Amino acid sequence: MKVNGKIISITKSQTLIDFLKDNNYEITKVAVELNGNIIPKSKFKDMTIQNCDSLEIVTFVGGG
Partner 1 sequence: MQITLNGKSINTAFTSVYELKNNLYPDYETIIIINGFQINKDYKLSENDSIVIIQKGAVPSKEEFESMISARHTPKVYEKLKKAKVAVAGLGGLGSNIAVMLARTGIGHLLLVDFDTVEPSNLNRQHYFTGHLSMPKTEALKKQISEINPFINAETKNVYVDEKNIENLFRGYEIICEAFDNPESKAVLVNTVLSKMPSVKVVAASGMAGYFSSNSIKTERKIKNLYICGDFTNGAKPGTGLMSPRVQICAGHQANMIVRLLLGIEDV
Please, what sign has the CA dihedral across residues 34, 40, 44, 46?
negative
> Phi and psi (nearest 5°) for 35?
50, 45
Residue whose CB is less far from partner 1, 5 or 11: 5
Q: Segment 2-41, which members bind partner 1 (CB under 8 A)?
A: 28-31, 33, 36, 38-41
61 binds partner 1 (CB under 8 A): yes
The number of residues that bind partner 1 (CB under 8 A) is 18
> Phi and psi (nearest 5°) for 47?
-80, 135
Site residues (vs partner 1, CB under 8 A): 28-31, 33, 36, 38-41, 56, 58-64
